[in-house]
Structure 1
């Protein structure tokens, strides 16, 4: 209901009969529709992410899909500002269900970590920690 004023949905979506793995659930027509809100409230962030997901070019492979996710998340990440916003995006993550690759990036890091979710990890009863640096690393060019 929140999204109707920002985009037109396909009849399949409206009827609840969208086939599995359908990449788009809107008609693509945004003419005359409202522009998504720009605030950091959860509702505004949800609308903005859903809107951009429907508008972004469809990826041709997993790397492009992760890149798309990161660009969409760029628009909804909450920057650290403890004086004005007590909560912020401390990390971002995405998973590819087909390959079981988990992509992770802590707040300060600018590179993305990829973890393969193996059968051993999935069926283990033990918690496994992966050391990931949460710091900015610069590649200096001279």
Structure 2
């Protein structure tokens, strides 16, 4: 579970945001990963070294780092979301390939990729090897949404041996099924609109709307991936356009507020609640991450300044996990 949206502002800022919906407590937050950060791929035990600094939402676990989303110093942003039942990985590393575990893909992209064009050329050489995350005890079925400072939005869905880009004209991503299915499904909601529906006659009786918002009566209300995709696409399409980055952050919070899951509303078969543990918002131009924890109304903002880029160590940033009042 997760929902992601991509917004372009009137002053040409590009903002990728997402909810992180999960049942297992992730306890992750904003982090800075420096240039020259060295890490070992579990796919083939190869030592990899980042060339770019980036901000991401992550945590240390078992001597390595897991990152769920982030933005690098070249203005490339990425978020991973679940694709259960459809993600396909390879069983082993392959010589001559860029071997990575799916949970390492974001670290590699943000730490080494300078443009989406560069990544598109390298994708056929990437070999994703299915490896269990010890802490979770599963091989995570992932797909990714990526954006840049040109306003391009693409999705990578590992459903075969070779990876490739899918252009994302709707700028929304949720979970299974694949992107094409969700886009086609929007054709079922052509009747949904912000405007009020007109009155209708039934014989001599003229039926008037009860109140406002009759145009939105066809919106789905559940939390399945198709329902969240439709709601996110509708709200993103019709919300008042953001003038700048600050308004894009506000719009992102309002849009994702229509799909974020409170504790207790979605219960997995294990009995655990699947809920929106945090919202992260990434601006490609300012290289900034905005983070809001489930337990707080406060937003933590971290920007990739020149001073931060000079740091040589990983840096974690504290976030509020309580309500704040004024």
Q: Shift in Å at residue 47 of structure 1? A: 1.3
SS at 2:280's partner residue? strand
Q: In the alignment, which residue of structure 2 is the partner of 1:16?
A: none
Change in Cα spacing, 1:5 to 1:56, as seen in structure 2 (3 Å) is same
Cα distance in structure 2, aligned partners of 1:38 and 1:119: 44
Q: 1:116 pairs with 303, 307, 319, which one?
A: 303
User: Is residue 106–residue 134 contact of structure 1 (8 Å, CA) maintained in 2?
Assistant: yes
Q: How does 1:76-87 map to 2 (within 5 A)?
A: 76-81=259-264, 84=267, 86-87=273-274
Is 1:63 the equivalent of 2:246?
yes
Change in Cα spacing, 1:81 to 1:121, as seen in structure 2 (3 Å) is farther
Larger radius of gyration: 2
Higher helix share: 1
Is 1:2 the equivalent of 2:168?
no
Q: Which runs of 5+ in 1 are unaligned?
A: 9-27
Q: Shift in Å at residue 138 of structure 1? A: 2.0
Q: In the alignment, which residue of structure 1 is the partner of 2:175?
A: none
Is 1:74 the equivalent of 2:257?
yes
Q: In the alignment, which residue of structure 2 is the partner of 1:103?
A: 290
Q: Shift in Å at residue 122 of structure 1? A: 6.6
Deviations along 1:101-120, one digit per CA (max 9) or x if unpaired, are 11110001101111103467
Q: Shift in Å at residue 61 of structure 1? A: 1.0
Q: In the alignment, which residue of structure 2 is the partner of 1:42?
A: 225
**Larger RCO, structures 1/2 (Cα 8 Å, 6+ apart):** 2
User: TM-score scaled to structure 2, two decimals?
Assistant: 0.32
Cα distance in structure 2, aligned partners of 1:111 and 1:55: 26
Q: In the alignment, which residue of structure 2 is the partner of 1:91?
A: 278
Cα distance in structure 2, aligned partners of 1:33 and 1:102: 32
Q: 2:235 pairs with 38, 52, 58, which one?
A: 52
SS at 1:95's partner residue? strand
Change in Cα spacing, 1:53 to 1:83, as seen in structure 2 (3 Å) is closer
Deviations along 1:62-92, one digit per CA (max 9) or x if unpaired, are 1111101000011000001178462100000
Cα distance in structure 2, aligned partners of 1:7 and 1:122: 47
Higher strand share: 2
Q: Which runs of 5+ in 2 are unaligned?
A: 1-183, 198-214
Change in Cα spacing, 1:125 to 1:46, as seen in structure 2 (3 Å) is farther
